[in-house]
Amino acid sequence: MRHLLSISDLSKDEAVLILDTAIEMARASDGPMKKLPTLRGRTIVNLFAEDSTRTRISFEAAAKRLSADVINFGAKGSSLSKGESLKDTALTLQAMGADAVIIRHGASGAPVRLADSAWMSGSVINAGDGTHEHPSQALLDAFTIRKHCTKSGGDLAGLRIGIVGDVLHSRVARSNVLLLSLLGANVTLIAPPTLLPFGVESWPVDISYDFDSVLPSLDAVMMLRVQQERMSDLFFPNAREYSRYFGLNRDRMLTMKPNSIVMHPGPMNRGLEITADVADSARSVIVEQVSNGVSVRMAILYLLLAGAPTQIGANS
Amino acid sequence: MSKSYILKGGSLPNGTKSDIAIKDGLISAIGTSLDANGSKIFDITNCVVLPGLVDLHTHLREPGREDSETVLSGSRAAVKGGFTAISAMANTSPVADTAGVVEQVFRLGQEAGLCDVFPVGAVTQGLEGEKLSEMGAMANSIARVRVFSDDGHCVSDPLVMRRALEYVKQFGGVIAQHAQEPRLTVGSQMNEGIVSAKLGLKGWPAIAEESIIARDVLIAEHVSSRLHICHVTTAGGVEIIRWAKARGIDVTAEVTPHHLLLTDDLASSYDPIYKVNPPLRTQKDVMALREALAEGIIDIVATDHAPHPAETKECEWQEASFGMLGLETALSIVMQTMVDTGLMKWEQVADRLSIAPARIGGYSDHGQEISVGKSAHLSVINPTASWRVDRDLVASRSRNTPFHGMEFPGVVTHTFFKGVKR
């Protein structure tokens, strides 16, 4: 494939290939030579029109471990903050000979626009667009779940996974719903009705408003960040009521199955959607998600740019 | 204006084959084997002659955004699409909320001279929805404004809407409402449904339109005034209007060509060429709108022609402007969606695109049955020909047509305004 824009562009085989490749990448990174020469001479631009720490650094680390040249292009102090259009930014990157652009953007669909336009010819990787998708996050989440909850690798058939909180505004949730169900998992969205999208019934998921009744059956529970601005927008009465019904605290965690895991894409609001004792508990794989992110992003860059044996996304 | 023409070999809207003679701006004779007598003859074999089309909803952007469209370029686009009268919406800069601005637009239309340009007056000052504009002064100006609209904005305050509906009764005016409950559409980008949920674009629920329609038909009934609903897009809106008409409420409604053809799944490309207010809806809505137009529950087709410069469409969806071109493609889309599907005959097309809009707007010289002695505002369409839309060949100053590359039936071959081919 040329781009990674949406999980819906991936077949199941392609998704598994990315996860398998990520295992190889993790193994290589653990070896004495952290750096692979695979993308030497290739130019990768990190175009982050929206603030981000972990995703930008994760992609940068992944690209550098593959020996690519990385150019960071952030919102602040760049032409983006001077109101330059996406089109002009793309034309500039094209003129500089970017082989791939990793884009984080506040507008849903901005990566699709970049990829479908004639503005630039390089690969486009969606690093989170508005409230649309965040495919690399979903892939690292699936990688983490596979590592902890399956014995043999392969897919995620039969696993029960809960995604809790602000699904409406979450690009992480959209990508995870698509990917986890593609890989055979049973996904349950748990949220107040105000934070579920209109038309969610058409998604391949179960819906619950009752966290306590679902939690004991889950193999993995993924807590979503609740953004401050939702408070003033009538989605729920206040932070305390939200935490009471949809926050993951110690008492709730005690009802979870043995070996089940707690996930969060970060950044966390400790005390709101997740309490500190849960975030720091043995069930929490939140820090590990970050390190897995580098391996998964290495796999994505490798498969997109290195002329890999199987072309992922070729059927899309 | 002493030109005389004979249109030979065409059909009237009712299907009767008949020649039409035009002299001194009027239809001078209708019949077979009319005597040429020095007239220029147009062979319009296979063509249908319609009364000149009338658009009740056009954005001409002048004054203020002459980079997008001018009264002259919009008039050219109108003529190309078969229109002999268009209605310049009030959301210009400055807003058409005084007699001065509507007279300016009216004069620009006269100077262009290609079709009649009837200014629409703003309901409220600055389109702000708070204080009534000087509707009386606009009605009594040389522009003789009868249609008032804050289009682009909803007159959302029910008291303001009530007063406006009452006030325009004194000069036989009508309030054309852009039905969009503002609190239900804060930041909205596209129809709220399965597609918006998948794309992560903020939803624009059908109820935001329907709740205003429901409220306003009740107000119109209470104050016995005349209400027009702009660009109806939902099956639910149709049902409310059906109910209101059955109850005897004086309400009329329009549908745009794009809402008769396009659906919200086009947003999947994130190409803002499909971004429009009100948004494209679902196939179910499209089918309901077509049926309602055929039935006359929706009275007219109006283009909502909305030119925008390239940079406001070559960008991210959420940054882009709302709106699409409509004048040059309207009749072909109506033919494809309504005539070729068997829902309407040309006689109904003449009604929905000329007679009824002229009646609603009070444009008494337009929308006449084709008969001797009437002003010769005529559109000739060849339904046996087809054409491909090319955004680089539009008469409009802007290129934002979502129909680029699409092939449509029906070629507008001639437009006669005041008896002269334009």
Residue A167 banded pLDDT, cuts 50, 70, 90? very high
pLDDT of amino acid B2: 56
**Mean of the per-residue pLDDT values for chain A?**
92
Q: Nearest to residue A140, comparing CAs of A300, A302, A314?
A: A300
pLDDT average, residue stretch B271-282: 98
Q: How confident is the model at residue A309 (pLDDT cuts 50, 70, 90)?
A: very low
In the predicted structure, residue B410 carries a pLDDT above the cut 50? yes
Just give the CATH number of B51-371+389-406: 3.20.20.140
Please tell me the predicted confidence (pLDDT) of residue A219.
98
* CA distances in angstroms from B343 to A200, B18, B210, B287, B288, listed in the order given: 35, 24, 25, 11, 12
Question: What integer is the mean pLDDT of B82-93?
Answer: 98
B186, B155 Cβ separation under 8 angstroms? no
Burial of residue A24, with CB atoms counted within 10 A of its CB: 0-12 exposed, 13-18 middle, 19 or more buried:
middle
Dihedral angle over CA of A98, A102, A106, A111, nearest 10: 70
Pairing verdict, β B19-23 and B4-8: antiparallel
Contact A209, A256 (CB under 8 A): no
* CA closest to A85 among chain B residues: B315
Q: Per-residue confidence at A251, pLDDT binned at 50, 70, 90?
A: very high
Specify the pLDDT at position B289: 98
Residues of chain A with C-beta less than 8 angstroms from the C-beta of B315: 85-87, 113
Residue A311, pLDDT above cutoff 60:
no
Inter-chain CB proximity B270 and A109 less than 8 Å: yes
Q: Kindly list the residues from chain B whose CB atom is less than 8 angstroms away from the CB atom of residue A132.
A: 199-201
Average pLDDT along chain B: 97
Residue A31 pLDDT grade (very low, low, confident, very high; cuts 50, 70, 90):
confident
| Span B119-142, pLDDT tens digits | 999 999 999 999 999 999 999 999
Rounded mean pLDDT of A262-276?
96
Q: How far apart are CA A220 and CA A139, in angstroms?
A: 15
Q: What is the DSSP string of B326-387?
A: -TTTHHHHHIIIIITTTS--HHHHHIIIIIHHHHHHT-TTSS--S-TTSB--EEEEEEEEEE
pLDDT of residue A83: 74
Amino acid at B295: E
Pairing of strands B53-58, B420-421: unpaired
How far apart are the CA of A84 and the nearest CA of chain B, in angstroms? 11
d(CA B402, CA B273): 6
Confidence of residue A34 (pLDDT cuts 50, 70, 90): confident
Distance between CA atoms of residues A302 and B324, nearest Å: 42
Residue of A nearest to B193 (CA): A199
pLDDT tens-digit map of A118-146? 899 999 999 999 999 999 999 999 999 99
The ipTM of this complex is: 0.92
pLDDT at A227 over 90: no
pLDDT confidence of A52, banded at 50, 70, 90?
confident
In percent, how much of chain B has pLDDT > 90? 98
Looking at the complex, report in whole angstroms how far the Cα of residue A108 sits from the nearest Cα belonging to chain B: 6
Is the minimum CB–CB distance between A116 and chain B shorter than 8 Å? yes
The class (CATH top level) of A135-289 is alpha beta
What is the mean predicted confidence (pLDDT) over B364-385?
Answer: 97
A235 vs B: CB within 8 A: no
- Give the pair of three-digit tokens for residue A55: 């995703």
Active site residues of B: 304
How far, in Å, CA of B82 to CA of B149, rounded?
A: 24
Query: In the predicted model, is pLDDT for residue A316 greater than 50?
Result: no
CA atoms within 13 A on the CB side of B105: 38
**pLDDT tens digits along B177-211:** 999 999 999 999 999 999 999 999 999 999 999 99
Which SS3 state, helix, strand or coil, does residue A56 take? Answer: helix
CA angle A92, A96, A101 (to 5 degrees): 75
Domain spans in chain B, listed from the N-terminal domain onward:
51-371+389-406
Residue range(s) of every CATH 3.40.50.1370 domain in chain A:
7-133+290-305, 135-289
Task: Say yes or no to pLDDT of A30 above 90.
Answer: no
> Are A199 and B193 in contact (CB < 8 Å)?
yes
Partners of residue A105 in chain B, C-beta under 8 Å: 316
A23 vs B: CB within 8 A: no
Residue B58: per-residue pLDDT: 98
The beta-carbon neighbor of A132 closest among B192, B199, B205 is B199
pLDDT at B365 over 50: yes
Classify domain A7-133+290-305 at the CATH topology level.
Rossmann fold (3.40.50)
